[in-house]
């Protein structure tokens, strides 16, 4: 408990308790914890003297915030116009079907979190998939699924993965 309050204290100091910097503060919490834990947000609310309902409103308004832990890997699918025209929805479908995860969610084994964003600005490479900051260009439903399959650690004969 003490450690968690420490994080919020640190972050509030970093921004001189300026409530206008609420979003950067929350981004920092998420960078540290991987998501926005409820008790961190409660601490933030009480220390900044900002209603918890307002912090919750901000946490649920912006798509980059996660209220649940994320996966080991970050997978982003671009759904910008050009990628869309070149088949991005089919790629998304294939991934959802294979790994049972929807955009905005995390696979049950926490292997990766899937996000669909609007245009990453690399339109010449459409369709684009980004895995942990590595760009994959011209992906197809098959190649995308392959890349994600290869994220699983090699030594996995029968593990909890097989349950999914």
Partner 1 sequence: MPTVTIDGHKVRVKKDATILDAANKAGIWIPTLCYHPAVSNDASCRLCMVELDRGEWRQLVTACNYPVRHDIIVYVSSERARQARRGVMELLLARAPESEELKSLAERMGVKETPYPKVTESQRNCILCGLCVQVCEEIIGRAAIGFAGRGVDRTVASPFRQASEDCIGCGACAAICPVGTIKIRVHEDQQEVEISPFKSRAKLLVCERCGVPIASAQVSEEALGKVKIDCEEFRERLRFCPKCRRSQTAARLRAATDNKENSELAAGQDLT
Partner 2 sequence: MIETPVRFKSTADIETFSRSLRDRTDSTTKLVRVCIGTGCAAKGSRRLYELFCEAVKQSDLDVRVEAKCVGCHGFCERGPIVVVEPGEILYQRVEEPDVAEIFRETVLGGRVVQRLLYEDPDTGKRAEKADEIPFYNVQKRIVLGGNGRYNPTKITDYITEGGYSALAKVLSSMLPEDVISEVELSELRGRGGGGFPTGRKWRSCRAAKGFPKYVICNGDEGDPGAFMDRSIMEGNPHSVIEGMLIGAYAIGSEQGYIYVRNEYPLAVEHLRMAISQAQEMGLLGRNILGSSFSFDIKINRGGGAFVCGESTALMASLEGRTGEPRAKYIHTVESGFRGKPTNLNNVETWANVPHIINKGGEWFAGIGTEKSKGTKVFSLVGKVVNTGLVEVPMGITLRQVIDEIGGGVRDGKGFKAVQTGGPSGGCIPSEHLDARVDFDELTKLGSMMGSGGMIVMDEDTCMVRVARYFTEFLQKESCGKCTPCREGLSQMLYILDRITDGEGQVGDVERLESLAKLLESTALCALGKTAANPVISTIRYFRDEYDAHILERHCPAKECRGLFRYEIDADACKGCGICLKNCPVGAISGENKVPHTIDQEKCTLCGACWEKCPFTAVLKV
Q: Which spans of this chain sit near partner 2 (rule: CB under 8 A)?
A: 19-24, 26-27, 50, 54, 57-58, 61-65, 79-82, 84-85, 117-125, 128, 135, 137
List the single partner that 128 binds among partner 2, partner 1, none, CB under 5 to 8 Å by kind.
partner 2
**For residue 12, what are the CA distances in angstroms to 32, 52, 66, 84?**
14, 16, 20, 41
Binding to partner 1 by CB under 8 A, coded x per residue (else -) over 63-82, reads: ----x---------------
Q: Exposed, middle or buried by CB within 10 Å (0-12, 13-18, 19+), for 164?
A: exposed
**Smallest distance, partner 1 to C-beta of residue 50, A:** 9
Closest CA relative to residue 75, chosen from 31, 134, 143, 161: 134
Residues that bind partner 1 (CB under 8 A): 38, 41, 51-57, 60-61, 67
């Amino acid at each position: 408990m003490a450690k968690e309050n420490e994080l919020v204290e640190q972050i509030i100091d970093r921004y001189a308790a300026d409530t206008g910097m609420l979003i950067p503060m929350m981004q920092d919490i998420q960078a540290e914890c991987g998501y926005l834990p409820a008790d961190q947000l409660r601490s933030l609310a009480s220390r900044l003297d900002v209603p918890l309902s307002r912090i919750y409103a901000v946490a649920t308004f912006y798509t980059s915030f996660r209220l649940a832990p994320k996966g080991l890997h970050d997978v982003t699918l671009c759904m910008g116009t050009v990628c869309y025209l070149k088949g991005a929805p089919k790629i998304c479908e294939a991934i959802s079907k294979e790994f049972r995860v929807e955009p905005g969610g995390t696979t049950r084994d926490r292997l990766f979190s899937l996000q669909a964003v609007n245009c990453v600005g690399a339109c010449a490479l459409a369709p684009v998939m980004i895995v942990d900051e590595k760009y994959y260009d011209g992906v197809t439903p098959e190649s995308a699924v392959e890349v994600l399959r290869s994220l699983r650690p090699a030594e996995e004969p029968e593990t909890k993965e097989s349950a999914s």
